[in-house]
Structures are given as C-alpha cells and as structure tokens.
Structure 1
Amino acid sequence: MAVKSSTEQRRGQDWLAKGGLRPTRQRLALATLLVGDGNNRHVTAESLYASALKRGEKVSLATVYNTLKAFCEAGLMHEIAVDASRSYFDTRMDDHPHFFWEDDNRLSDAPAEELKLLSVPKAPEGAEITRVDVVIRVRKT
C-alpha cells in the first residue's frame, strides 16, 4: 500500500474545505487521490475505485459514485458525459475542450486556444446555458 504524504492529505483537506464539504474518511481518501499530487485528473468512478482499492482504502463503488456527484455539486469538479452510459470527472475547473480517445476510452485536455466557438444557440425560454462541453472524439491512426 502506498503511503500518503501529509502534503497530499493537506491538499485533499483544503480541496474539500474549498467546496464546503465535511472531510469524512472516505471523502478525504478520494480527494487525496484526485488532487493530492497537485495535478488535475480525468477519472471514471470505476478508475477512481480501482485506485482507491490499490491504495488500500476501504470504499465501495457506490460510495465513489456518490462522492464524485457530491464533489461536482460542491463545484470542485465537472462531470463530462462522453455518451449515454459513460461519464468522466475532471478536476480542472476552467472552461476547456477535451479529446476522447476511442481506442482506449481515455479523456484528455485539448488545447483551448485552438477552439474557436463563434456562437451557441439561445437557451430555450425559461432556461439558461450553464456550460458548454466540447468533446472531440479521436482514434489513433
């Protein structure tokens, strides 16, 4: 089992505090996996669950799903749906596009400066646009 450093745990605690979330044992363990090294992540619930198990954390897949949803609701991460049955969770919170690598079901950041979005349709009456997700599907040649 990999040992968490105090710096990693502090980053996880600070991240949870930023979202106003109580640092339960399971939330702190998952937050530390997501942001402990200071890097942004694109994860699925299943990949985060596997990382948690590998690190020796006692957490269920259902708890991982619920915790990721709570992190999104707290404004700590975004959920990106790549199709009707698959979502990724991104800790990078600025607006930016993504590449979805079809060969290995992986999401990565795409260069935002190369995307030129000239306009979007008006929101239907009684609604507002909250965000625009751009997912560019790619495969290796």
Structure 2
Amino acid sequence: MADQLALTIVTGFIARDGSKISGEGDYDVVKANRGLYNIVFRPPFAVTPVVVATQVFPNDVNNQGGSTRDNAVVVGITERQFRVKVGNGNGDPEDRDFTFIATGVGLSGAALAAWEAEEHRLPDVDVADEA
C-alpha cells in the first residue's frame, strides 16, 4: 500500500467569478452560489486533506485592506472536494477572490492508474438559495 501513496499539495488563487488566477495541481472550481465555491480535486486525495483558505480583498498591496471580518470559511472537506464560503464585513456571502492550499496523502501507482482509467464528472453541487 505504501507504494500507492504520495504527499500531494494543491494550491489556488481563485477570482470572484470562479476563474483560476494561479495555482498548482489539477482541480476544477464550481461557483455554487453567491460567495460559495466548490474546489474539486483531480485526482482526489487518498484521505481527507488539510485545507486552509483565506480571502484576498481588495487584492491591492497598496491598500489598507478591508475589514478583518471579510473572511473565508472552509465549510466542508472530503477526499474529492472542499467547499469555501467568502463574505463581506457584515458576514453576508459575497463573491470575493480567495486563495487555498490543500495538502495530504494523494493517490499514486496502481491506485492513481485505476482512478485515471475511470470516467469522471463533476460532483453534483447544491445551489440552494442562501439568505
């Protein structure tokens, strides 16, 4: 089993519209709702990774910055994806740029080959309205 596991690091800088600004690793971004994004790992991790996310606002190094309440919350994590919610200083969901890093045990060897041989589609995303 040890020959099928490897340390994996996936990073991303995601724009408010869900497009990728920069990053490393193979993943898709699904904008689920206002301020709500799913990041889908391709391939998935072997076990649930550690994910850290932070909001980038207003993305100007010469600015004094937004409120410290402008934030990003990792809502949930699985081997296949994580969900992050970003919002404004009032705590309301709002589309904002954010960065993330996910690290953990990834697939390799025969386990990776088996995953690559399968057909993959994006997971269903709950897009229910948020208050």
Greater relative contact order structure (CA < 8 Å, 6+ sep): 2
Higher fraction of helix: 1
TM-score (norm 1): 0.23
Higher fraction of strand: 2
